[in-house]
Amino acid sequence: MAFQLRHHSVLPGFGATMGITLLYLSLIVLIPLSTIFISASGFSAGQFWETITTPRLLAAFRLSFGAAFAGAIINSIFGLLVAWVLVRYRFPGRRIVDSIVDIPFALPTAVAGIALTAVYSANGCIGRYAEALGIKIAFTPVGVILALTFIGLPFVVRSVQPVLEDLDAETEEAASTLGAGRMQIFVRVILPYLFPALLTGFSLAFARALGEYGSVIFISGNMPMKTEIVPLLIVTRLEQYDTQGAAAVAVVMLLASFLMLLIINLLQWWSRSQR
* pLDDT score of 7: 54
Average pLDDT over residues 170-180: 72
Please provide the average confidence, as pLDDT, over all residues in the chain. 86
Phi/psi at 225 (5° precision): 70, 0
The CA distance from 206 to 74, in Å, is 11
| pLDDT classification of 174: cutoffs 50, 70, 90 | confident
Q: What is the pLDDT of residues 192-237, one digit of tens each?
A: 888 888 988 998 899 889 889 988 999 998 898 999 999 999 999 9
**Closest-CA residue to 238 (of 267, 255, 213):** 213
Which own/partner contact pairs does 245-251 have at CB distance under 8 Å and 24+ positions apart? Answer: 245/51, 246/39, 247/36, 247/37, 247/39, 247/40, 248/40, 248/43, 248/48, 248/51, 248/52, 249/51, 249/52, 249/57, 250/36, 250/40, 251/36, 251/37, 251/40
Q: Which CATH class is domain 46-273?
A: mainly alpha
* pTM (two decimals): 0.86
| pLDDT classification of 1: cutoffs 50, 70, 90 | very low
Average pLDDT over residues 113-124: 91
Share of the chain above pLDDT 90, in %: 45
* pLDDT score of 260: 79
How do the domains of the chain map onto residue ranges? 46-273
Instruction: Using the predicted structure, report yes or no on whether residue 121 has a pLDDT greater than 80.
Output: yes
Q: What is the pLDDT of residues 179-190, one digit of tens each?
A: 777 777 777 778
The amino acid sitting at 259 is L
| pLDDT classification of 64: cutoffs 50, 70, 90 | very high
Dihedral of alpha carbons 121, 122, 125, 127, sign: positive
The string over 139-158, giving b where at least 16 C-beta atoms fall within 10 Å of a residue's C-beta and e elsewhere, is bbbbbbbbbbbbbbbbbbbb
The CA distance from 157 to 83, in Å, is 5
